[in-house]
Each structure stands twice: as C-alpha cells, then as structure tokens.
Amino acid sequence: MEIIKDTTDFHIEGSSAIAIGKFDGIHKGHRKLLSDLIEEKNNGRKTVIFTFDPSPASFFAGHVVPGLTTREEKREWFLQNGIDVLIEFPMNEQTAATSPEEFVKRYLVDQMGAKYVAAGMDVSFGDKGRGDWKLLSALGKEYDFETHFIDKVELEGKEISSTLIRQEVTNGNMEKVARLLGCPYTIHGVVSHGRALGRTIGIPTVNVIPSKEKLLPPNGVYYSVVHVGDKILRGMTNIGTKPTITDEDVVVSETYLYDFSGDLYDKDISVSLLSFKRPEMKFNGIDELKAQMSSDVENGRIYHHNMETSKHNWSE
C-alpha cells in the first residue's frame, strides 16, 4: 500500500475508486463502505482512501483530540484489507479554506483520476464543510465520476457513528462498543519495562503506554484478550495511573496474562478490552492491593471460561 502524506502535490496514475472520510473507529458503517470500494478493483480501478491528518477535530481544536483509531492503527487496517493507496491529506489553514468545488476538481478529478467516489450521507468537505453529498453527486455528473453514498447502519434502533462509539468508550461500555465496531476495542503498543511490582507479588503484567491519539475508557480493571503474533492470550487489564504505588499522572495499560510465562519486552501486542470489571482504586498498601488483584484474577478466570463456553461473537 502506498501512503501519501504531508503534501497536496500528489498524482495517481490511471482511474481511481475513492472513499472519503475520517474513518475514526472503522465501525460497521465504514466496513460496509470499504467493502463496496474493494469491489471496484474488479473494474480495474485503484482503491484509494482519502482521509485527513491531523483530524478535523484536532486541527480546529488546536491540539490532539484522542480518537477511536490512531494513525498507525488505520494504516495497518487499510493495508490488511487490500487498499492500494492511502492519502493522509494535510489539514492546515490553507487546505481547510479550499472551496468544495476546487477540492473536487483539483484533488479528486485532476490529481487522482476519480471514476468512483464513495462516502457516508454525512460527508462534508471544503471550506467550512460546505460540501455535502448533494454537491458531490452534482459534481460527479459534471466531471464524469460515479458517486456512491452509504446510509447509516443501525444497531438497536440507533445510527452507528464514531460519535456514539466515543460516548460508549468514555462510559466504559465495552460490550456495546464491540457490537458497534464489529470487534472489541483494542489498544496497540510495544511492551515496556515497568516497576515489576506485579512480579514481586505473583501477578506479573505486561505494560503498554497508550498513544496520546487513542481515546481511553475510564480508568479501571477490564477483562481482555491479548494478541501477540499469532497467539491469543486471555488477560485482565488495568487502565490507569497506579495510585497506590505512584503519584505520577501517566496512564498505563497493565495486563496480567493467564497461564503464560515468557518475556514480551519490546514486543508489539494488541490488548482488546472486553468488559469493565471495576474502577481503579487507591489501596492502603501493597497487601490490600494484592488481595484485590488476586480476587480480580480469579473472577477473570470465571469470566473467560464463560465466554469460551458461550463462543461469543462480538460482531453480533
């Protein structure tokens, strides 16, 4: 997959099938759009994702606004799902002020050879977001490219949107988040060295410092699964600042792995949060912390056993 970033001066040879969007979370609605896009390969067209960096939310806020999916997570997902070109279009004062008509003519038509453009019905582009699906459809007729708009996918009577999913993550409703995404909410990172306190009390953990781009659920204990290469391990994860042992305000993901021994330092892992157990707490010493963690571990065994017995499908 070719990645085009940090420039507006790019050119794609041949005809392109393009999907425009922020793709925060890559939820079920996004997956429907991208599935339709991939089918355009059968028409000999390059599949192109056109997204924005920084995100419009971060650009207009003037600082990083954490989202459901980091830049690296999006890149990996698009790569694994057969996208030919990913354009991370630079958001700045100049590009944000581009008129919708110029945006389509210059970038989609002249520089990308658009013959098929897909987006959600809520698509917005160009200066002050004036461009919408109606304008894009009209410009498609003018410049001879097909437009395809995806209606909102619903779950339990509500439209699936990145905004809704961010609300559910913020509330710690991980089961609901998984149903909206079609998969559990996952934190990716490299295992780093911690204080090794868990090892000294018989509950060793693997530590990951989440990206500042990643929206995190409330600090607390979650049942989880961890992917390491082709291995899937059951886990119990604490998201938080470890208030019992430090005053540092650094949020860390610490995961105890069931029935595992080995060295994972400097390994890439993915921690999928399945269910919220309890909020993070400050205990009156290490002994009290150990007792609570031991109880959490045993409850986690029961949780994972029940999940494996029920053969739960997170996409349902």
The predicted structure's pLDDT at residue 131: 94
The predicted structure's pLDDT at residue 311: 67
The number of helix segments (H) and strand segments (E) in the chain equals 10, 14
Residue in 44, 3, 37, 38 with CA at minimum distance from that of residue 19: 37
CATH fold, domain 161-310, is Elongation Factor Tu (Ef-tu); domain 3 (2.40.30)
The predicted structure's pLDDT at residue 302: 94
Q: What is the H or E stretch that residue 198 is in?
A: helix 197-200
Q: Judge whether 2-155 and 161-310 match in fold.
A: no
CB atoms within 10 A of CB 251: 16
C-beta of residue 139 within 8 angstroms of C-beta of residue 101: yes
C-beta of residue 282 within 8 angstroms of C-beta of residue 240: no
Once rounded to an integer, what is the mean pLDDT over residues 147-161? 87
C-beta of residue 253 within 8 angstroms of C-beta of residue 208: yes
Angle (CA) 306 310 316, round 5°: 120
Residue 150: pLDDT over 60: yes
> What distance in Å separates the CA atoms of residue 168 and residue 177, rounded to the nearest whole number?
6
Residue 201: pLDDT over 70: no
**Domain covering 2-155 in this structure, CATH number:** 3.40.50.620
Residue pointed to by tokens 């996409």: 315
Once rounded to an integer, what is the mean pLDDT over residues 236-257? 87
Angle (CA) 207 208 212, round 5°: 150
For the chain, the domains span 2-155, 161-310
> What distance in Å separates the CA atoms of residue 24 and residue 40, rounded to the nearest whole number?
23
